Structure 1
Amino acid sequence: MATHDNTINHARSASIIRSIVKHNIFIPCAFLILLLLINIFINPGFLKVSMGTDSNGHPVLIGNLINILSNATELVILAIGMTLVTASSKGQDISVGATLAISGGVVMRVLCGNETQPSSLHAPIIVALLLGCLAGMACGAFNGILVSRFKIQPMIATLILFTAGRSIASMAMGGLKPKAVSSFGYYGNFIPGFPIPTPILITVLVIIITMLVLKFTNLGLYTRAVGVNAKASSLNGLNPSLIKFLTFVVLGLCVGIAGFVQSSRVQTVNPFTIVPSIEMDVILAVALGGNSLGGGKFNMTGSIIGAYTIQTLTSMLMTLNVNTNAVPVFKAAIIVILVVIQAPIVKAFFSALMADLKSKNNRGKGDDTYVVVE
């Protein structure tokens, strides 16, 4: 009897392990935990969070973990929009970095006007935020029209703004590189008297709104349907072109918010150097989150975890004094691993392996039927 119970317990444990491994957030969580463990090994006090003071003497939370959560804000927000675009259009928007420069440039132009160092803001910050988001949504709409109406591949369609976007941002700023007054920096750093970095609060707010929208509207369902089979969704009354267009506009909105945060973080915008190569980090975060880059079903939670994982990797490499030019090499290695894992032949191999293990486990159960316990 004891042998039979042990077999049942073993089978249950194996079943639980299989369920965990097959869960769509297992890979991003595993990567994140692995990176955290490596960081803790390098620096035992890596996760320590303490109370310090900023340059003005205000109490603020400090620590590596706080820095990662704060610095990942733009990446997380962009990953949310990119996930929807990837799921619906079966492609990626490679212009998010350039579009962010445009949005940030619009924000700075609204706040600073034609001055490089204004003594006061030229417009309310909420107006700058709205116009920055509008600029991002306009860029998203442009890309969306090319993809949804003209049936151009997403990567080719977004290559236009990827190439010209930063120059457009420079033109929008009148060729200037203005620096806003310090009060604008509160939204990218700390609000005086509040210890939690403002970008973390913005990230939490965006995530909550996203989850509520996906839960209480049909955006997520329609996006999945169009990504899985556009023709079938059309026969069921959906408009695939409209859904694809809307996902690009949503990504544009995310770009606008991220551009506002980034411009507030540094209180200026250099269109040609702001967030270099962030589009690759965003795509990597989506892939690392367990999403197929070929579209269809998506995992928003996985994308968010993937974004924090990428930021953790970046922070770790910087801590190890890895040359900035070498950082993309490590990220490219992760891309290779993810591509290999998602390859059909690899999936088939692991499916066959799991089926074989399950078959052996079932045979083991059958053998236990003949165990006689006196």
Structure 2
Amino acid sequence: MKKWSKLTKYQAFWPFVILLAIIVFNGIITGGSFFQMKIVDGHLYGRVIDIIRNGSKLMILAAGMTMVLATGGTDISVGSVMAISGAVACSIISGSLFPAVGGSVAVAICAAVAAGVLCGLWNGFLVAKIKIQPIVATMILMVAGRGIAQLITSGKIITVNSGAYYFINGGYILGLPFPVFIVLFVVIILILFTKKTAFGLFLESTGCNSLASKFAGIHVDKIKLLVYTCCGTLAAVAGLIESAGIKGADCNNAGLMIEMDAILAVAIGGTSLNGGRFSIPASIAGALIIQSITTTVYALGIAPEITQVVKAVLVVIICLFQSKEFREQIENLLHKGKAVQGA
């Protein structure tokens, strides 16, 4: 019993339990076909693989968003940064931008990531140095970002025909989609950085009480600048995956409204929007929950126009279930009901 109580205290415990429940439910309603996998040309295919592949962008964004929310901030510009990243990469590969590099995929990837770093630095500068409220500071880039992407592509949808670039989304290693390895690399690096160094403690301290942290000698402004830069960088990586998947740059639709799902994934993972304690694995589970819910809704044949409503209701139920206070109230009601029956 003590081991169970200790296990349930881990922030990532309930998100993974909920994820497992959704997966089992999917298996039941599909008659077990949900778990079926097949190997074609050495590549693994199946609904579970599709969830992981399609959710890779959201998992990467959620990892970056977790650190931002841990400081008590938010970043609603990640969708626009994805559009900028895709626009830069595809423009270079197509030769319309920096034609001297000859459409080099390596240069395109580096330039796209550099654009994400600059976007993150801009957001961090506004929040940490200019002291603008995070939602307002990042809204600036959210609005202007797609305009910047349109300027890069001259208002066109740029398509590319590069097998090397397509590999970012459509490639396979050891039978698994390449985006899976990108997610693993990002998550491992961030976990090591936040758990094996003092940075994680500084991050939580900043979110709990930034003023007290500053008096304690923590460089709060540098912490915020770093996390926003990291979030912008990861948004650029997600943008590369998306643009590689569609083999082009669609500045109007790339990453559209995905920032809401990223924030929601972190919230489902149990990280408070007020800052403080955080868990990157829990946020990854939150991202997979959202992607799994989408798969469930489609499997049930629910009409597209009410899909978002169904997802919203399910998310509310999940958030209530994760609330310790809500669970305690339910337990109290159950105890009272038993007491009345016993009387």
**TM-score (structure 2 length as normaliser):** 0.88
Question: Quick one: distance in 2 between partners of 1:26 and 1:283?
Answer: 19
1:33-48 residue pairs with structure 2 within 5 A?
33-43=20-30, 44-48=32-36
Task: Name the amino acid aligned to 1:212.
Answer: L
In structure 1, the partner of 2:267 is 287
Paired residue for 1:91, among 73, 91, 102? 73
Paired residue for 2:179, among 199, 220, 232? 199
2:69 corresponds to 1:76: no
Task: Name the amino acid aligned to 2:55.
Answer: A
In structure 1, the partner of 2:277 is 297
On the 8 A contact 2:268/2:319 being kept in 1, the answer is no
Indicate the SS of the match to 1:91. coil
Question: Quick one: distance in 1 between partners of 2:202 and 2:292?
Answer: 33
On the 8 A contact 1:287/1:338 being kept in 2, the answer is no
Question: Quick one: distance in 1 between partners of 2:129 and 2:206?
Answer: 15
Percent identical: 34
In structure 1, the partner of 2:134 is 154
Shift, 1:225, TM fit? 1.3
Shift, 1:209, TM fit? 1.7
Paired residue for 1:239, among 219, 234, 253? 219
Shift, 1:329, TM fit? 1.7
Paired residue for 2:291, among 286, 305, 311? 311
**CA distances 1:314-370 after superposition (whole Å, capped 9, x unpaired):** 122223333334332233224534665677xx728828968xx9xxxxxxxxxxxxx
Gaps (5+ residues) in structure 1?
1-12, 53-57, 358-374
Indicate the SS of the match to 2:35. coil
On the 8 A contact 2:239/2:255 being kept in 1, the answer is no
2:257 corresponds to 1:274: no
Indicate the SS of the match to 1:172. helix
1:96-111 residue pairs with structure 2 within 5 A?
96-111=78-93
Question: Quick one: distance in 2 between partners of 1:51 and 1:175?
Answer: 41
**TM-score (structure 1 length as normaliser):** 0.81
**CA distances 1:245-300 after superposition (whole Å, capped 9, x unpaired):** 11000001101111111111111121111232211110111011111111011111
Task: Name the amino acid aligned to 1:21.
Answer: T
Task: Name the amino acid aligned to 1:98.
Answer: S
Paired residue for 1:190, among 162, 171, 186? 171
In structure 2, the partner of 1:9 is none
CA RMSD of aligned residues (A): 2.5
Shift, 1:26, TM fit? 2.7
Q: More deviation in 245-254 or 174-183?
A: 174-183
Indicate the SS of the match to 2:43. strand
CA distance change for structure 1 residues 219 and 176 in 2, over 3 Å: closer, same or farther? same
2:195 corresponds to 1:227: no
**How many matched pairs?**
330
